[in-house]
Amino acid sequence: MNWLIDFFSNPANWSGPGGIPVRLLEHLEFSVVALLMAAAVAIPLGLWVGHTGRGSLVVVVSANAARALPTLGILVLVVLIIGVGSTWPVLIPLVLLAVPPILVNTYEGVRGVDPDLRDAAYGMGLRGPQVLFKVLVPVALPLILLGMRLAAIQVVATATVAAYVGLGGLGRFIMDGLATKNYTITIGGAFLVVVLALAAQAGFTLLSRVAVSPGVRQFR
């Protein structure tokens, strides 16, 4: 606890390009961009596969296999291929990390909708896209947001790898602290990552309460 007090009470840690506000914004930028890119890929694909059933086995198996990919290994590989002149070496591994939980939960959410509800929607004269967006997506929304929440927590926690390629983010505190044996900075940086991950979880939990209708929440 004393180390945390020393870290947050030191004015030097709050100013300059290496201060807490700057590092926090860098970390948020990596995390938000990677999460949005992953969602842009995984949610439409999960909706399409869940609704049509086409390629479901390939998608689910591929998504689960992607969970085993080592993020740091991919980071190093991307750096060797394209260099370190941009944020892509960090974004690519983070996107690959975030896609599986979003994709699988979106797919499972759509496929898990009661078949009677789906049939009733078609019986009312709704067409495929209308059934998907007016019936299936609202019912599947809790699982879709759960996938987003899981992905956000993983991305926030893993974005510290940006420090390995000389980029910013809260990982700089951890790496620099370990390199100089300044464990006050290391613990402070790790604490900030934990707080940010918890904030992401709380944010998506609140979003779920606001975005999901009470009837669907009760049903789930």
CA 60 to mean position of chain CA atoms: 18
Helix pair 171-180, 183-211: axis angle to 10 deg: 160
Q: Which amino acid is at 112?
A: G
Q: Is the pLDDT of residue 55 over 90?
A: no
Domains and CATH numbers, the chain: 21-219 (1.10.3720.10)
In tens, the pLDDT along 63-104 reads: 777 777 778 788 888 887 877 777 888 999 999 999 999 999
Q: In this predicted structure, what is the pLDDT of residue 35?
A: 97
Of 61, 220, 51, which Cα lies nearest the Cα of 136?
A: 51
Q: Is the pLDDT of residue 122 over 80?
A: no
